[in-house]
């Protein structure tokens, strides 16, 4: 059993109605067993007016646990708690509890997640957490998108910044808390690579996610410190980590990198294994053959590519079941629309969009006068020259009527999420607060008309 999922009733903690068949079908399609806690039935609607009292410690976990039967006003808090405990005992050993979202109008005052009321403020959720069970809204589950054998949350957390270079360093404790915040919010795929910190990011991800039901995607094809394959140009080398990095996708190298990544991650299987950059000296068919053998050995679940052309994607897909290609995609970089999106649609390949806010340019926070921290390599790139920042910020200012309370970064992420063929958006975050801000893009999607209006502001004879 992958996990046990408990499905409650909308507007209630008590699970009085039967579990939603559509949710059960979605769960069973992912190999998950669904359980409905029927013993919680018929106990009424939660009210935010009273707090639990007594020595059971629940008051500290939930201050809105009083349950009142609407028909006669009889307080049945004790009965509800007994039922919740019984259901929670049934969840022993479960890894995830899926609670059906309550209506925002039920008056519980809870935080809104994914457009629904977060099912984490109730007694039942508190009891589940005491037993080490992760609590998730069924709205989060419904948001997941198919990616071959995987079903992923559309917001994928990237870890390039956890490599310690290019971005001017990071705080390890904050990075771990950011990963935990993403997982707690329903993000179920984290993307990393051996090159990020030369193995450090993979080790951090492995340690932070140990025991958590989160998938990991990593990559192969960029080697150090040996000189196998083709070296990057000076400009490319600076972008990927400095001199001494070589592109190598020979079959024996792909196998070795997979085994090394498994050790660094502390895992028995990699959920999505991707080639990082094509190797001009190795036929793609040879690389894909090696990946296919790794899949047959059970070391990887799914195969992906990255930074490829439409022809390279077709060549790779002719040999192995490629499920994803990871590509730069943002309002400032739409090169994937020149044939690659169509190729993905033809082949059934999902796009994982990286740099969706153009490495920070689309956040609106990089003014021409702002000095980047020491070690932040963006300061050396022409795209981050003061004149370029000014032009981008001028375009962002025109977005003001479309923000409707969003941040520019959230709007830019929502735009990429709405693009055809996009299965997931790889966002970067170094703190829990940044995670929450990024996830706002999913909670507030753009309509097709809004997405078109946003795109038009970044088009024309003088795009930013």
Q: Is the pLDDT of residue 36 over 50?
A: no
59 and 21 within one domain: yes
Q: Are 224 and 163 in contact, with CB atoms under 8 Å apart? A: no
pLDDT on residue 204: 95
**Domain with 298 in it: what CATH number?**
3.20.20.100
- Which residue has better confidence, 77 or 319? 319
Domain termination residue (choose one: 108, 143, 178): 143
Report the catalytic residues.
196
Domain termination residue (choose one: 143, 167, 192): 143
Tens digits of residue pLDDT in 337-355 = 999 999 999 999 999 999 9
Domain termination residue (choose one: 143, 174, 202): 143
Hey, which of 98-102, 114-118, 406-410 has the most confident mean pLDDT?
A: 406-410
Token pair in block for residue 436: 């929450």
In a domain, 462, yes or no: no
In a domain, 379, yes or no: yes
Q: Which residue has the tokens 């979605």?
A: 26
In a domain, 74, yes or no: yes
- Which residue has better confidence, 274 or 68? 274
In a domain, 461, yes or no: no
3-state secondary structure of 92: coil
Q: What is the mean pLDDT of residues 8-29?
A: 39
In a domain, 327, yes or no: yes
In a domain, 464, yes or no: no
- Poorest-pLDDT segment among 286-300, 343-357, 440-454: 440-454
223 and 100 within one domain: no
Cα-based distances in Å from 389 to 58, 367, 395, 414: 51, 6, 10, 21
Q: Is the pLDDT of residue 122 over 90?
A: no
Q: What is the mean pLDDT of residues 234-249?
A: 62
Q: Are 416 and 425 in contact, with CB atoms under 8 Å apart? A: yes
200 and 296 within one domain: yes
pTM over 0.75: no
133 and 9 within one domain: yes
Q: Is the pLDDT of residue 308 over 70?
A: yes
Per the prediction, the chain carries an average pLDDT of 74
In a domain, 64, yes or no: yes
333 and 258 within one domain: yes
150 and 38 within one domain: no
Q: Is the pLDDT of residue 51 over 80?
A: no
245 and 111 within one domain: no
183 and 80 within one domain: no
Q: What is the mean pLDDT of residues 265-293?
A: 96
pLDDT on residue 104: 37
- Which residue has better confidence, 463 or 38? 463
Name the band, by pLDDT with cuts 50, 70 and 90, for residue 57. very low
Q: Domain of 67? A: 4-143
Q: Are 8 and 15 in contact, with CB atoms under 8 Å apart? A: yes
155 and 123 within one domain: no
73 and 174 within one domain: no
Tens digits of residue pLDDT in 364-383 = 888 878 877 777 777 777 88
**CA triple 407-390-358, angle to 5 deg:** 55
Closest CA to 117 of 129, 103, 100, 132: 103
136 and 265 within one domain: no
pLDDT on residue 85: 59
How many folded domains does the chain comprise? 2
In a domain, 463, yes or no: no
Q: Which long-range contacts (CB under 8 A, 24 or more apart) does 21-25 make?
A: 23/98, 23/100, 23/138, 23/141, 23/142
Q: Is the pLDDT of residue 437 over 60?
A: yes
- Poorest-pLDDT segment among 33-37, 271-275, 354-358: 33-37
pLDDT on residue 213: 86
């Amino acid at each position: 059993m992958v996990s046990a999922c408990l499905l409650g009733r909308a507007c209630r903690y008590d699970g009085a109605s039967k579990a939603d068949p559509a949710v059960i079908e979605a769960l069973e399609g992912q190999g998950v067993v669904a359980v409905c806690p029927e013993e919680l039935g018929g106990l009424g609607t939660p009210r935010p007016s009273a707090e639990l009292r007594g020595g059971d410690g629940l008051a500290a976990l939930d201050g809105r646990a009083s349950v009142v039967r609407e028909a006669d006003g009889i307080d049945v808090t004790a009965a509800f708690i007994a039922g919740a405990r019984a259901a929670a005992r049934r969840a022993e050993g479960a890894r995830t509890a899926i609670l059906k979202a309550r209506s925002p109008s039920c008056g519980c005052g809870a935080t809104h997640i994914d457009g629904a009321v977060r099912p984490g403020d109730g007694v039942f959720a508190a009891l589940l957490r005491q037993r080490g069970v992760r609590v998730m809204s069924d709205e989060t589950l419904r948001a997941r998108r198919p990616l071959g054998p995987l079903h992923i949350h559309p917001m994928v957390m990237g870890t390039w910044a956890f490599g310690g270079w290019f971005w001017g360093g990071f705080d390890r404790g904050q990075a771990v808390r950011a990963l935990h915040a993403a997982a707690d919010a329903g993000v179920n795929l984290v993307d990393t690579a051996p090159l990020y910190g030369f193995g450090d990011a993979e080790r951090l991800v492995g340690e932070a996610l140990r025991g958590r039901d989160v998938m990991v995607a990593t990559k192969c094809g960029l080697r150090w410190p040996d000189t196998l394959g083709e070296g990057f140009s000076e400009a490319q080398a600076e972008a990927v980590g400095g001199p001494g990095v070589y592109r190598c996708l020979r079959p024996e190298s792909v196998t070795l990198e997979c085994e090394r990544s498994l050790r660094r991650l502390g895992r028995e299987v990699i959920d999505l294994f991707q080639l990082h950059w094509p190797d001009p000296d190795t036929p793609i068919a040879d690389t894909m053959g090696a990946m296919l053998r790794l899949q047959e050995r059970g070391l990887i679940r799914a195969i992906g590519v990255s930074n490829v052309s439409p022809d390279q994607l077709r060549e790779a897909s002719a040999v192995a079941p490629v499920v994803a290609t990871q590509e730069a995609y943002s309002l400032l970089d739409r090169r994937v629309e020149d044939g690659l999106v169509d190729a993905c649609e033809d082949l059934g390949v999902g796009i994982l969009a990286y740099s969706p806010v153009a490495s920070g340019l689309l956040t609106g926070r990089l003014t021409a006068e702002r000095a980047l921290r020491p070690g932040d390599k963006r300061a050396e790139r022409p795209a981050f020259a003061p004149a370029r920042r000014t032009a981008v910020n001028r375009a962002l200012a025109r977005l003001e009527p479309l923000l409707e309370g969003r941040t520019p970064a959230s709007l830019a992420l929502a735009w990429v999420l709405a693009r055809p063929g996009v299965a997931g958006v790889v966002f970067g975050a170094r703190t829990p607060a940044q995670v929450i801000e990024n996830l706002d893009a999913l909670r507030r999607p753009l309509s097709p008309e809004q997405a078109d209006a946003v795109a038009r502001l970044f088009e024309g004879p003088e795009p930013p």
